[in-house]
Amino acid sequence: MHEELVAIKGVNDGLLISLSTTESWQSVTDQLAARIDEKAQFYAGANITVELGERPVPKYELSSLKALLERRGLTLSLVRSESDTTRNSAVSLDVPTDNHVAPKAPDPAPLETAPVNPEEKGTQGVLFRRTLRSGRTIHSEGHVIVFGDVNPGAKVIAVGDIVVWGKLRGYVHAGVGGDESAIVCALEMSPSQLRIAEYVVTSPAGKRRKIKPEVALVRDNQIIVESRE
């Protein structure tokens, strides 16, 4: 019965919390709080993806959920929902959202006959469609695309790749969790610090290189930057 209301499981470098879509919001959030408090140490600092299914969650409810997590040192980094209301609430709270649903028991027949290439199936990502200014941070379990600049003082942290369609001047970390095949690309590559998996580089000081689109990747145990023209 308890497990029905709230399910918590580990994914990549964060936690996926699925909340019952039928029980009252109050009892669901109460139980969530209790569950987290049981293992406060273990959960502290985690990035949270919350799965809300088809339940329409108004802004005030979602904001209290966000506050509930933040009070316990957790960051609400993604809201998954099939409801437009919930997704709108998330957008107005500046929380990334997608309508991806937890894979239900897949239909086995087509899988057997035509195995889907995981690359074609696509990976989860976040698209941010304006300039990411100082003080803002984007965390993602997947890839991050910024359609705008990443200004000094802003941070992008992704398990996957980071694509900046604009000037990259802030802090970026791709391949968090150790994926050395992750890449970072930008139309103007001058990050204050750039990390891929465990590797770190800073932009050469003072030099004004020719501005061109570039890609950063790990090769021979170091980060290199290649131009793509």
Partner 1 sequence: MSGKVVTISSGKGGVGKTTATANLGISLASLGKKVVVIDADIGLRNLDVIMGLENRIVYDLVDIVEGRSKLRQAMIKHKKFDDLFLIPAAQTRDKMAVSPADMVKLTDELREEFDYVLIDSPAGIERGFRNALEPADEVLIVTNPEVSAVRDADRIIGLIEAADKGPGKLIINRLKADMVKKGEMLSSEDVFDILGLTIIGIIPEDELVLSASNSGVPVTLNMQSKAGMAFNNVARRVIGEDVPFMNLDDSPGILQRLVGLLNGR
Which residues here bind partner 1, judged by CB under 8 A? 94, 130-131, 133-136, 149, 151-153, 167, 169
Cβ closest to partner 1, residue 143 vs residue 167: 167
Q: How long a stretch of residues is the chain?
A: 229
Minimum CB separation of residue 137 from partner 1 in Å reads 11
Cβ closest to partner 1, residue 115 vs residue 206: 206
Cβ closest to partner 1, residue 45 vs residue 135: 135
Minimum CB separation of residue 147 from partner 1 in Å reads 13
CA distance 86 to 62: 8
Rg value, the chain, Cα = 19
Minimum CB separation of residue 154 from partner 1 in Å reads 8
Cβ closest to partner 1, residue 138 vs residue 217: 138
CA distance 150 to 164: 7
Minimum CB separation of residue 132 from partner 1 in Å reads 8
